[in-house]
């Protein structure tokens, strides 16, 4: 039996091809939703959009400190695993849900499969970096998306027989869902947006939004971007970011279209039709690369260096000067880069690797 553990919307998106394939093959599996970022009820729309069955278990751990979240997920997954006795636990990415699910499985002597293993920013200030490193080192199966990710874990002494290059399941997910999104979503009309004539922004990482002065600089930079290009700047504001803007007594500037977080299909349409995307999200760096939309990453380091190498992405600080320079650089490039994240068959390769031992 395979247990799929997830807790955030990016994990739902990236695990969806695996869940769909397990269901199609009539495999013995179940899904545990930790509820790390949002309530379980708020995430139901993602399962519905992606045509997935609802999870059999939800822990509803909610927000909290890293220690509080991790402890609650450890307790909840331990109870579920002892009851259901899975043979393999699959986790994806670098969240507290990933680390807690993997640690629980390791202590119960259950094999762990880490989907999207081997990513490294080499910035230990990021809690995500700690989570992904520790998870890799307790996993039996490391499903790495690229040869570069494989090399990262080989350099840390992990045995090559644990490592499987599968590509990234985000390619599977984008390919499967883009046509569905185009048929269903009217979000461009809802906000009077024209294809290729707006910027899209996401920002939620603590290094950007928990520092009042960095958050203030980011908002000023978005205002300068609107003034420089006379284009709308669409900003689906993450709850964490909205809360910090209010706490810091800041305001979203003129020219910024602040909207509520969207479902995956709507966001996919916003990404695919943007002139350029600015983000601090790892997943968005991958999605824009796949969709051939230029990306500016609002960070000093990235665990997706492949996007930099192929030319789909660049790193920058968050001052107006830095962002305008980065945007100008990316808009001056072509979009004829090669997608480094695989052929859209990552889920199949992952499940086959588990069955082949």
3 state DSSP class of 50: coil
Out of 37, 114, 164, 204, the active site residue is: 204
- What are the φ and ψ backbone dihedral angles of 201, each rounded to 5 degrees? -130, 140
Angle (nearest 5°) at CA 50 between 8 and 1: 70
- HSE, CB side, 13 Å, CA atoms: give it for residue 311: 9
Our CA dihedral for 347, 42, 40, 71, rounded to 10 degrees, sits at 90
Please enumerate, as own/partner, the contacts of 237-245 that have beta carbons within 8 Å and a separation of 24 or more: 237/261, 238/202, 238/203, 238/204, 238/209, 239/38, 240/204, 240/206, 240/209, 241/203, 241/204, 241/209, 241/215, 244/209, 244/210, 244/212, 244/215, 245/215, 245/219
> Which 8-state DSSP code applies to residue 333?
S
Would residue 204 show up in a list of annotated catalytic residues for this protein? yes
Find out whether 222 and 233 touch, Cβ atoms under 8 Å: yes
**For 129-155, b where at least 16 C-beta lie within 10 A, e where not — what string?**
bebbbbbbeebbbbbbbbebbbebbee
Q: What is the CA radius of gyration of the chain?
A: 20
**What are the residue numbers of the active site?**
204
């Amino acid at each position: 039996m395979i247990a799929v553990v997830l807790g955030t919307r990016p994990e739902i998106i990236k695990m969806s091809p695996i869940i769909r394939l397990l269901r199609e093959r009539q495999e013995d599996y179940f899904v545990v939703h930790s509820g790390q970022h949002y309530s379980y009820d708020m995430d139901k729309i993602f399962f519905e959009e992606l045509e997935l069955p609802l999870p059999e278990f939800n822990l509803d751990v909610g927000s909290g400190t890293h220690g509080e979240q991790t402890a609650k997920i450890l307790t909840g997954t331990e109870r579920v695993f002892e009851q259901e006795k899975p043979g393999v636990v699959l986790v994806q990415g670098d969240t507290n849900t990933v680390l807690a699910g993997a640690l629980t499985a390791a202590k119960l002597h259950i094999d762990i499969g880490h989907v999207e293993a081997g990513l490294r920013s080499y910035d230990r200030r990021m809690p995500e970096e700690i989570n992904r490193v520790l998870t890799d080192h307790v996993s039996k199966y490391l499903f790495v998306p690229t040869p570069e990710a494989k090399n990262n874990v080989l350099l840390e002494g992990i045995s090559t027989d644990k490592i499987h290059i599968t590509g990234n399941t985000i390619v599977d997910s984008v390919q499967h869902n883009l046509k569905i999104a185009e048929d269903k979503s009217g979000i461009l009309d809802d906000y009077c947006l024209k294809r290729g004539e707006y910027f899209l922004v996401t920002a939620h990482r603590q290094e950007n939004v928990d520092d009042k002065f960095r958050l203030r600089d980011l908002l000023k930079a978005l205002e300068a971007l609107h003034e420089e290009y006379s284009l709308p700047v669409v900003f689906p504001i993450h709850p964490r970011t909205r809360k910090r803007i209010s706490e810091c007594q800041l305001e979203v500037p003129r020219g910024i279209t602040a909207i509520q977080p969207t479902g995956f299909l709507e966001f996919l349409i916003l990404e695919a039709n943007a002139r350029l995307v600015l983000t601090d999200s790892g997943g968005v760096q991958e999605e824009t690369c796949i969709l051939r939309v230029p990306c500016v990453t609002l960070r000093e380091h990235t665990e997706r260096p492949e996007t930099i190498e192929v030319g789909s992405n660049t790193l920058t600080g968050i001052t107006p000067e830095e962002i305008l320079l980065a945007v100008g650089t990316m808009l001056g490039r072509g979009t004829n880069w090669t997608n480094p994240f695989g052929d859209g068959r990552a889920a199949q390769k992952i499940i086959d690797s588990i069955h082949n031992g």
